Homo-oligomer: A and B are copies of this chain.
């Protein structure tokens, strides 16, 4: 079950720069392309003529042309024209509200009438020259909620990412979990510790000493449906930690947009927005490469965890204090899912 009346990151614009992009989101097969006036559009990936995938076609004058027999689909899901045919009575396909913003394409897989672009979250780092962003995309064969769990409990860094961002002090520092309406925040502060390799690199890149004690923080914020923004950073110890002035620290936000594909697979848009040396594109590339490697370490674990859960469906998992972030996030999702179902039932007149 997924929330469908909400915005997900569907893709990035480069993915459909050359040709339409077919992608399944929340169980809906859709195709992304540049429609009228170059604006992004998304419709079902199903030609009403013979069921061919429209993603194998091409765009002409803002219309999506089916690559099989030339039906021209409008971004509203209505057939605009077809050679030699009257298309008025052709059945419509779904269109999915899609908005290009902050370097992503946001898509609303549910009821189009309810889609409000104002609901698209505004990342702090977006359109802000003090910040730089780099990121990538992984396809992962597991329930998207296992990824939320993963990101809301960073003790896994000590084990999964032991050579880059992990360190025993993460396990040792107490974690606090807080729920504010639909937002869940788990935070952890470590004082006077040695920076792990990734952060030594970041300090150095920011022209700061990398061999002195630091304070480190991790503040994970879940917001529905499946966005996790994580404030992370280190400051030279004794300057205020998280609140230290910029010249004593390297601070950034791990960006995680998690988009369900099926019940047991998802698209993972990962990235890092940093608040230091924003003009340094080499540094952006370097961080992107390092982060891609680090986040790739989770894939095997998550996919085999999923397989285990499918093999042992009756087993209850533990819900420890470190799991509170994921547990609370799922609770919010369950509540919103129930509300969406009731809304759907009301809409259908039952």
The interface of chain A, by Cβ under 8 A from chain B, is: 29, 45-46, 48-53, 56-57, 65-70, 83-85, 90-91, 149, 153, 155-156, 158-160, 168, 171-172, 174, 300-301, 304-305, 307-309, 311-312, 315-318, 320-323
Known contacts A29-B308, A56-B300, A322-B84; decide if A317 and B156 are in contact (CB<8 Å): no
Question: Which of chain B's residues have a CB closer than 8 A to the CB of A90?
Answer: 318
Known contacts A50-B317, A51-B315, A149-B50; decide if A83 and B171 are in contact (CB<8 Å): yes
Min CB–CB distance A161 → chain B (angstroms): 11
Question: Which of chain B's residues have a CB closer than 8 A to the CB of A57?
Answer: 159
Min CB–CB distance A295 → chain B (angstroms): 15
User: Can you tell how many copies of this chain the complex includes?
Assistant: 3
Known contacts A69-B153, A311-B29; decide if A83 and B172 are in contact (CB<8 Å): yes
- Looking across the interface, which residue of chain B has its beta carbon closest to that of A300? B56
Complex Cα distance, B312 from A185, in Å, reads 40
Question: Which of chain B's residues have a CB closer than 8 A to the CB of A155?
Answer: 69-70, 83
Question: Is B68 touching A156 in the complex (CB atoms < 8 A)?
Answer: yes
Known contacts A153-B69, A323-B50; decide if A172 and B84 are in contact (CB<8 Å): yes
A-B contact pairs, 26 of them (CB 8 A): A46-B308, A48-B318, A49-B320, A50-B305, A50-B318, A51-B305, A51-B309, A53-B305, A53-B308, A57-B159, A65-B159, A67-B159, A67-B160, A67-B301, A68-B160, A68-B301, A68-B305, A69-B153, A69-B159, A69-B322, A70-B158, A70-B159, A70-B171, A83-B158, A84-B321, A91-B316
Question: Which of chain B's residues have a CB closer than 8 A to the CB of A48?
Answer: 317-318
Please give 12 more A-B residue pairs, beta carbons under 8 A apart, in addition to A68-B305, A91-B318.
A50-B149, A51-B308, A53-B304, A56-B301, A57-B159, A67-B301, A69-B153, A69-B159, A70-B171, A83-B155, A84-B172, A91-B316
Complex Cα distance, B52 from A91, in Å, reads 46
Complex Cα distance, B54 from A305, in Å, reads 10
Question: Which of chain B's residues have a CB closer than 8 A to the CB of A168?
Answer: 83
* 8 nearest A-B pairs in the assembled complex, by CB-CB distance: A83-B171, A53-B304, A51-B308, A52-B305, A49-B318, A51-B309, A67-B159, A69-B155
